[in-house]
Amino acid sequence: GLPPGVLNLVLGAGDVGAALVEHPAVRVVSFTGSTTTGLKVYSGAAAQGKKVSLEMGGKNAIIVLDDANLELAVQAVTWSAFGTTGQRCTATSRLIVQRGIKPKLLEALVAKGQSLKVGDGLDESIDVGPLVNEKAMAKVEHYVQVGKGEGARALIGGARIDAAGYFYQPTLFDNVAPEMVVAREEIFGPVLSIIEVADLDQAIEINNSVIYGLSSSIFTENVNAAFRAIRDLATGIVYINHGTTGAEIQFPFGGTRGTGNGMREAGQTALDSFTEWKSVYVDYSGRLQRAQIDTDAVLGEL
């Protein structure tokens, strides 16, 4: 355990957070939450010269190309989209799928989704737990209705479960266009929007078309396509043949654009984010060193 006073929990709403950001004793602020709130925290802390690390919104996508391992892709998409009820910064919210593999992939995803058990997340036999509260439930319900209104088609789910608690059916939306609200805004629930593409170029373009840039993934057996994705996907984390979750602890964690501010948490880079460098110069020569001035004289003595 930690000594008393090392870790302190101060619970509350926005006014509590604002007080922490503004207090002179707080030297570093690490924020996780929405982009709108994060930028307010950033400006408030930066005005006082404080170091700030931001982990904000996301609209993470898995790209599945025609040559992908179908079974592996199905498992990864299901887990990344629904394994934590979509309530994870790196959860998959978009599935960008190449036209050739789409029919088989959707057939398998529908079957897998229909087999998922929703209930108490502490029960090991349960696949999908509850949303955190009524506010989260209302947000998911709102976006599902928006999606249906935009023309998206629910292959499975699309409704609240009639039971005590905040349980929502795992939802797959097909016929989603990149410009739709459900394809661009963070939902933070068990809702996956499926976008069809012709090729890798279009997949990368759509992946990068949102304002966020946290996590992305590609399933392919083509090494050239994989390395092209590594280079061109504009996210802080890129996975090859893996879902969009899992590297949060051991890797430098953070996003680009509307997700982050260039800082990285977790991994070795966390030391840079949460500590300060100190440079120490020790002179043992016994004489004045006019650094960067006496260089010719010093070199002449060598």
CA angle 192, 233, 71 (to 5 degrees): 50
57 touches 162 (CB < 8 A): no
The reply to whether 89 belongs to the active site is yes
Judge whether 107 counts as a catalytic residue: no
Q: What is the rounded distance in angstroms from the CA atom of residue 129 to the CA atom of residue 119?
A: 5
Contact 72, 241 (CB under 8 A): yes
Q: List Cα–Cα distances, 93 to 3, 51, 76, 237, in angstroms.
A: 40, 30, 13, 15
Catalytic one of 22, 55, 141, 150: 55
216 in Cβ contact with 50 (< 8 Å): no
Do residues 248 and 265 make contact, with C-beta atoms less than 8 angstroms apart?
no
**Catalytic option among 89, 186, 196, 265:** 89
Among 181, 213, 187, 183, smallest CA distance to 197 is for: 183
What is the distance between the alpha carbons of residues 287 and 15, in angstroms, rounded to a whole number?
Answer: 56
Look up residue 65 and give its two tokens: 């190309």
Helix (H, G, I), strand (E, B) or coil at 180: coil
**H-helix segments, the chain:** 14-22, 35-46, 70-82, 102-115, 134-150, 200-207, 223-232, 270-274, 295-301
Instruction: Name the residues annotated as catalytic.
Output: 55, 89
